[in-house]
A and B are shown apart, each in its own frame.
Chain A
Amino acid sequence: MSFTSWQFAIFVAVVFGAYYSPPLGRFQTQLLVFSSLFFYGYGQPELLPLLAVAVCGTFVFLTLALRNRAIWLPGGIVFNLLLLAFFKYKFLFIGVESQGLTGITPIDLLLKLPLPIGISFFVFHNISLLVDLTRDKTRPPSLTDVFLYIVFFPQLVSGPITRAEMFFPQIKPKCVADVPFVEAARWVLTGYFFKLFVANNLNEMTSYMDFPLYETLQTEDRWLLVFLYSYQIYADFFGYSAIAIGIALLFGFRLPINFNLPYISSSFSEFWTRWHISLSSWLRTYLYIPLGGNRCGLARTNLNLMIVMGLGGLWHGAGVSYLVWGLLHGLLLVFERPFLKSLQTIDSALLRFARMTFVFLCVSVLWIFFKLPNFDHALGYLVGMFTPGKNPNPPKLFHDLALLYALPVMIQHLGFGSVLQSRLSRWEPYLYGVMAALAYLEAGPDVSFIYFQF
């Protein structure tokens, strides 16, 4: 069930009504778990047993690890990583169309299952659960609470990746009087506006980046589309995260902020504190720091950065393009490290602007590996950006339309949000109303959220 469907709106309204109705007040957690399972199984009911295995398996490992962390915590992590590896990377070794792979029906059935939506996200939730709760030696949570943490529908499919230590304290009886309706509305409306108005409309234009369509593009349009895709992927994922945060607020849960104006970053390390924050902080907490972080000398720090970014790339998908994307980001982080301190001491607006432009340019160019997961296609696109286009019939792109659809991302990054909260606060509700209308009137053709594929 997509966040942008009418079915989802009805689903949220029904669950919200039931959640705060007095007769069901005692069963709020159970109701959310049941609703989340319905939400997940709506499109792919055959994958519900897998979700149940992942949650119940993690619960068993958690219970055991609370008694003996040294043995069962690694066991639980391996169990989850195997799940992820099996479902995400099996297609590297078997063809989707393959018939009768082993001749053993149950195994063939498993091998044939499609990639479960959101597996990358709920596996990371599971690992966070195992590490956080066994480290703090807290009382083991109930199975229902564990289910809710992992399958809570606003965050189930594409995050934000919530840390267990942040989520569990929030599981308690909720009251409708405590719902921050305006804050929730701000998030939800902003999210839908960015998804429907910005991302879906830009997607129409960036579809020319697909192979072999991109071969008809003029060189300057290849560059333009790279920047448009940069805005699109931000609007798409920021939009999703904002909707998730807003809807979670309606049910009394505060999810972590996932984006903080990433395209104003003046360094690559700053970019990773502003882009997909919940993933980068997860990788830092559960991978970079356990690997030794920056405590073991320069060479080891650089190696750790490359490992984390390479695995971060592979987390997005089983493909060379994703690995290259991650490793190139790792390289950029390694290269900038020695210069960061001295650059930060220079107080110059011009230098900061130049650094922001450089970071945005590099980040945008690297998105090509996201847009074109086939490495050869990505390379072909990249090469075409530096060679003159010869196709006599290039498609016409409306630059004014591109600018207007990308404008909300630019305005947001220029700090309009703080102006709105201070000087223009009187007009804020009207602006959100116009945004809601525009999201409906000017919505681009429906297309899945980009991060659903991960």
Chain B
Amino acid sequence: MGQRGDFHWLVKCASAALLSLLVCAIAVLRSGGGLELPATTTRDGALLTLNRYVREPIPDVVLVGSSLTFRLSEEYFENPRLRNLALAGGSPVTGLEIIAHQSRLPKVILVESNVLSRPADDVLIEKYTNKRRVEPLFLRPVRSGVASYENWMHKPAGHSQVAEALNRLVMQAPSDFDNRVYVERVVSQFDALDPAPVVRMNVEIMRGLIPELEGRGAKVFLFELPYIDQVEKTRAVTITREIVHAAFPDPSRWLPIDVTRSDLRWADGVHLDERSALITARSMEKNLAMRSRGG
């Protein structure tokens, strides 16, 4: 191939690349970028929820938290206008900041207080602060194709469809999965951790944000998900609890979770399994309704 041939080859190649980009840019404009891409990691899953939150009408209730709260699926709650913005591997403060940066607020915000040992994710907060920046410039053709296929083949079931299955699940006996090895690992990790500096920093941010959010009309409750007994006694958990309760001593600030502990299971030593998460979610919803009625 001579220099002229080389030039023609490169021009054709560049044209095809530019045309592909153009098609994907137009596709985004046409579709509004609203297609939910499949999540390959738990973080991806959290981003999908955040994308939905900033695009869709403001829900009544929002949960923010870490991977512990991430397990409380939205379907577990009877209220269809509830969104779970918990970030696996993230801090509850990230979700709280994102909500605070939106122009409209939900009626109730539930904030997990278990994992406050991670700092807020400033990049994520910045990303969801400016709505225009959330929209991608180009369509991701492969992921969008798979998303369409998945949405078509495995459309997520609605509240009414899953209710029966969830009722069956809650009637089952608790799992007999042997989690001892995982619990030992979690205990040794949590005992080695001194979360105090980051927890204090996060609590300070929360002390600033909560009055601001309530001043704008939202009601904020804190909640504490139960751990397995051995983990409850670890250094990280006791230090975190001490700092948070000292900062928020008013019992009315806390949403109680009334569950029979022997009914709960933590398959990996720290996260509630599906059935336990469902029981916990139902208790939270019941207590929230009582609080709303002034009970």
Given known A-B contacts A207-B41, A429-B13, A430-B13, A441 and B177 have beta carbons under 8 A apart = no
- 20 additional A-B pairs beyond A433-B18, A437-B20, beta carbons within 8 Å, are A182-B1, A182-B6, A189-B13, A207-B41, A390-B177, A391-B177, A398-B40, A401-B142, A404-B142, A404-B145, A429-B13, A430-B13, A431-B16, A433-B13, A433-B15, A434-B20, A437-B24, A440-B21, A442-B140, A442-B143
Minimum distance in angstroms from A291 CB to a CB of chain B: 45
Determine the residue in chain A with the shortest Cβ distance to B145. Answer: A404
Minimum distance in angstroms from B174 CB to a CB of chain A: 11
Q: Which of B14-69 contact A (CB under 8 A)?
A: 14-21, 24, 38, 40-42, 44
Residue numbers in A under 8 Å from B42 (CB-CB): 395
Is B236 an interface position by the 8 A CB rule?
Answer: no
Determine the residue in chain A with the shortest Cβ distance to B71. Answer: A393
Minimum distance in angstroms from A300 CB to a CB of chain B: 46
Q: Which of A391, A401, A405 has the most CB of B within 10 A?
A: A401
> Which of B10, B17, B149 is the one whose CB lies under 8 Å from A400?
B149
1/0 per residue B127-155: CB within 8 Å of A?
00000000000111111011001100000
Question: A397 contacts B40, CB within 8 Å?
Answer: yes
Question: B268 contacts A436, CB within 8 Å?
Answer: no
* A-B pairs with lowest CB-CB distance, top 6: A433-B16, A437-B20, A429-B12, A433-B17, A430-B16, A429-B13
Determine the residue in chain B with the shortest Cβ distance to A391. Answer: B267
Is B97 an interface position by the 8 A CB rule?
Answer: no
Minimum distance in angstroms from A376 CB to a CB of chain B: 13
Residue numbers in B under 8 Å from A205 (CB-CB): 40
Is B175 an interface position by the 8 A CB rule?
Answer: yes
A434 to B268, CA, bound (A): 44
Question: B141 contacts A433, CB within 8 Å?
Answer: no
Question: B273 contacts A404, CB within 8 Å?
Answer: no
Question: A437 contacts B10, CB within 8 Å?
Answer: no
> For this complex, into which size category does the number of interface residues on chain A fall?
35 or more
> Which of A182, A393, A404 is the one whose CB lies under 8 Å from B9?
A182
Question: B268 contacts A204, CB within 8 Å?
Answer: no
> Which of B5, B6, B41 is the one whose CB lies under 8 Å from A204?
B41
A177 to B24, CA, bound (A): 36
Residue numbers in A under 8 Å from B44 (CB-CB): 204
Question: A434 contacts B16, CB within 8 Å?
Answer: yes
Determine the residue in chain B with the shortest Cβ distance to A435. Answer: B17
Is B274 an interface position by the 8 A CB rule?
Answer: yes
| A-B contact list, 28 entries, CB within 8 Å | A180-B6, A182-B6, A204-B40, A204-B41, A212-B185, A215-B182, A216-B268, A391-B268, A393-B274, A398-B150, A401-B38, A401-B40, A401-B142, A404-B145, A404-B146, A405-B142, A433-B12, A433-B14, A433-B18, A433-B19, A433-B20, A434-B17, A437-B16, A437-B18, A438-B141, A441-B24, A441-B138, A442-B142
Minimum distance in angstroms from A379 CB to a CB of chain B: 15
A442 to B38, CA, bound (A): 13
1/0 per residue A183-210: CB within 8 Å of B?
0010001000000000001001101000
Residue numbers in A under 8 Å from B83 (CB-CB): none
Determine the residue in chain A with the shortest Cβ distance to B37. Answer: A401
1/0 per residue A398-433: CB within 8 Å of B?
101100110000000000000000000000111111
A308 to B220, CA, bound (A): 65
Residue numbers in B under 8 Å from A106 (CB-CB): none
Determine the residue in chain B with the shortest Cβ distance to A429. Answer: B12
Residue numbers in A under 8 Å from B267 (CB-CB): 391-393
Q: Which of A361-409 contact B (CB under 8 A)?
A: 390-393, 395, 397-398, 400-401, 404-405
Is B3 an interface position by the 8 A CB rule?
Answer: yes
A196 to B143, CA, bound (A): 14
A430 to B11, CA, bound (A): 9
Please give the number of chain B residues whose Cβ is less than 8 angstroms from any Cβ of chain A in the complex: 43
Minimum distance in angstroms from A229 CB to a CB of chain B: 14
1/0 per residue B102-146: CB within 8 Å of A?
000000000000000000000000000000000000111111011
Q: Which of B3, B5, B40, B138 has the most CB of A within 10 A?
A: B40
A441 to B138, CA, bound (A): 7
Residue numbers in A under 8 Å from B138 (CB-CB): 441
Residue numbers in B under 8 Å from A42 (CB-CB): none
A436 to B24, CA, bound (A): 13
Is A86 an interface position by the 8 A CB rule?
Answer: no
Question: B141 contacts A442, CB within 8 Å?
Answer: yes
A391 to B12, CA, bound (A): 52
A182 to B3, CA, bound (A): 9
Minimum distance in angstroms from A228 CB to a CB of chain B: 11
Question: A432 contacts B13, CB within 8 Å?
Answer: yes
Residue numbers in B under 8 Å from A434 (CB-CB): 16-17, 20
Residue numbers in A under 8 Å from B3 (CB-CB): 177
Residue numbers in A under 8 Å from B10 (CB-CB): 181-182, 185, 429
Question: B9 contacts A441, CB within 8 Å?
Answer: no
Residue numbers in A under 8 Å from B5 (CB-CB): 182
Minimum distance in angstroms from B224 CB to a CB of chain A: 21
> Which of A400, A431, A441 is the one whose CB lies under 8 Å from B21?
A441
A62 to B146, CA, bound (A): 58
Residue numbers in A under 8 Å from B145 (CB-CB): 404
1/0 per residue B247-278: CB within 8 Å of A?
00000000000000000000110010110000
Minimum distance in angstroms from A289 CB to a CB of chain B: 39
A267 to B82, CA, bound (A): 57
Residue numbers in B under 8 Å from A212 (CB-CB): 185
A440 to B22, CA, bound (A): 13
A185 to B11, CA, bound (A): 12
A400 to B147, CA, bound (A): 10
Minimum distance in angstroms from A132 CB to a CB of chain B: 33
Given known A-B contacts A216-B268, A392-B274, A393-B273, A429 and B16 have beta carbons under 8 A apart = yes
Minimum distance in angstroms from B71 CB to a CB of chain A: 8
Residue numbers in B under 8 Å from A215 (CB-CB): 182, 268
Residue numbers in B under 8 Å from A436 (CB-CB): 13, 17
Determine the residue in chain A with the shortest Cβ distance to B11. Answer: A429
Residue numbers in A under 8 Å from B139 (CB-CB): 441
1/0 per residue A205-230: CB within 8 Å of B?
10100001001100000000000000
Residue numbers in B under 8 Å from A442 (CB-CB): 140-143
